[in-house]
A and B are shown apart, each in its own frame.
Chain A
Amino acid sequence: MYDLPGYRRPPAGTQPNLVHPPYRSTMTRAPALPLVPLPTTLSEITGPLFGHTQVRPKDSDLTVHHAGAPLGERIVVTGRVLDADGRPVPNTLIEVWQANAGGRYRHPVDQREAVPLDPNFTGAGRAATDADGAYRFTTIKPGAYAWRNHHNAWRPAHIHFSLFGPSFLTRIVTQMYFPGDPLLALDPIVMGIPDERGRQSMIARFDLDATVPDVALGYRFDIVLRCRDATPREDGTGWS
C-alpha cells in the first residue's frame, strides 16, 4: 500500500490556461478536452534527480564559452529555489537558454538575418542549487524577440528556465522576465496566466546587492516549486 501525500496544487488562475486564443498556436496544439484528474501514485512522487553531477563550473557563466566576450549588457541572475512552504530545494538542476543581446537565438529556426548572431554567444547554461537552494548565472541581457503571432508582435526579453525538483510533479519550465518591461502586458504568453500573482512570479527584480561593481547588473529571481501535502487527502485525490 502506497497511500502517499500528494502535491498541493497552485492557487486557481496562477498557472496558465492551456487554451489561450491570443497565443495562436495554443489553438492547434493545446488539448480541447478537459484534463483527467490523476490521484498521486508512487509513479508521480518519484522522478529523475539531477544535480551537481550533471554540471561543470563553467556551465553557469554564459559569457566564457567562446574566444571573445559576447556583446551586450552583462548581468548576474541569482536566486533560490524554494518549495511552496518556503523550504530550500538543494542540489537540483537548472537549465537555461536565451537569445543574444539583439534578440536572436542561435538556432536553425531563427532565420531573422536583420538581427545578427553573436559569434561569442551560444545562450545555453546550467547550474545546480547549493544546500540553501541558491544558484547563480552570469550572462548578457537578452534582447526583445520579434515573432509572428500577430502584427508587430514582440516577446519581452526573457530567459528560459527548466527545473526538475525532487519529483515528476515538481518539473517546471518557465521564462524569467525583467522588471518594468513595457512588452509584458502586451505578450500573449505572459497574459495566458489569468492571475497577476502568477505573472509576477516570473518577473525578476533588480538587486544592487547582486550587482558586481564595474562588471554586471544583478537580478534576483527566486523560483518556487510545488510542495507535498502534510498527509494524504481523505478524498483520495491527493490534493486540496
Chain B
Amino acid sequence: MVLIPTASQTVGPFLHIGMNELNTNEIVGDGERIAITGRILDGEGQPVPDAVLEFWQANAHGKYAHPEDQQNKPLETGFTGFARIPTDTGGGFRLSTVKPGPVPARTGGVQAPHILIGVMARGLLARLVTRIYFSDEAANAADPVLALVAAERRATLIARREDGKDRRYVWDIRLRGEGETVFFEC
C-alpha cells in the first residue's frame, strides 16, 4: 500500500494556543554551555513575532537521544536535544544549550557540529528546515552539507561567536530577500 502523505498547512497566527506545553528555551546536558540568540526577519526586513522555532541536536559527544543513533557514545540522563521557542514581539529568540559534538556523515567522516532548525509561521505553508553551524569550528571547512551550499550563502548557516567570556552566538534568520537564509529540501 502506498499512501499520499497528508499535506502541510501553515500554523497560522494562533499557534500558541496549541503549541505550548513542549516549549522550552533550554536544553539540559553535559558539556560546554552556550547561548544562541537571534531574530527572524521577513522579506521587508520586518521582525516575525509569530513564528515558532524547533531545535534538534546531538549532545556534546555527538550522540542523538533517539534509537536510530546506534553509536557507542555516552548519552546522559535528561538530555533530550529538543527545544521549541515561539519568537517574541521583536521576532527574537534565545536558546540556552550545550554545544553539540560532531556526528557521523552519510558516507564516512563526520559532520561539523550543528543544530537542525524547523521554522513555522503564518505565511509559511510548510515548515522550513535549516541548520546552525558555529563560526569557531574548523570542522566547517570539511562539512559535507555546507559543501552543498553556494559559498556566498554559507554564512547564513553560521552562528557568529560573540567576543566576551560567555559563550554566546548570534544567528539571525532572513526568510526572504537580501541575505536570505539557506533552507533545505529534505
Contact of B3 with A23 in the complex, beta carbons under 8 Å: no
Q: How far is the CA of A43 from the CA of B110 in the complex (A)?
A: 11
Q: Name A residues whose Cβ lies closer than 8 Å to a Cβ of B.
A: 1-4, 7, 10-11, 14-18, 20, 23, 25-33, 35-50, 54, 82-86, 95-97, 105-107, 109-110, 122-126, 160, 162, 167-169, 171-175, 189-190, 192-193, 197-199, 201-202, 223-226, 236, 238
Q: Is the CB of B56 within 8 A of A48?
A: yes
* 10 tightest A-B CB contacts, nearest first: A97-B18, A25-B123, A29-B123, A46-B66, A86-B1, A16-B125, A35-B185, A48-B82, A38-B184, A38-B186
Q: How far is the CB of B163 from chain A (nearest CB, A)?
A: 29
- Return the contact of A29 from the options B144, B145, B176 (Cβ within 8 A): B176
Structural contact, A42 and B103, CB atoms closer than 8 A: yes
A56 vs B49: C-alpha distance in the bound complex, in angstroms? 30
Contact pick for B8, options A41, A54, A167, A174, CB 8 Å: A174
Q: A46 touching B56 by the CB < 8 A rule?
A: yes
Q: List 8 A-B contacts (CB under 8 A).
A: A3-B107, A4-B68, A10-B4, A16-B8, A16-B125, A47-B66, A109-B13, A201-B6
Find the A residue at minimum CB distance from B10.
A189
| Contacts from B to A (Cβ < 8 Å) | 1-22, 42-44, 46, 48, 50, 54, 56, 58, 64-66, 68-69, 80-82, 103-108, 111, 114, 116, 118, 120-129, 144-145, 148-149, 175-177, 180-186
A166 to chain B, nearest CB (A): 8
In-complex Cβ contact of B105 among A41, A168, A199, A238 (8 A): A41
Inter-chain contacts of A18 with B (CB < 8 A): 124-126, 128
Output the least CB separation between B180 and chain A (Å): 5
Contact A192 B17 (CB under 8 A): no
Pick the residue among A29, A110, A197 that contacts B42 (CB under 8 A): A29
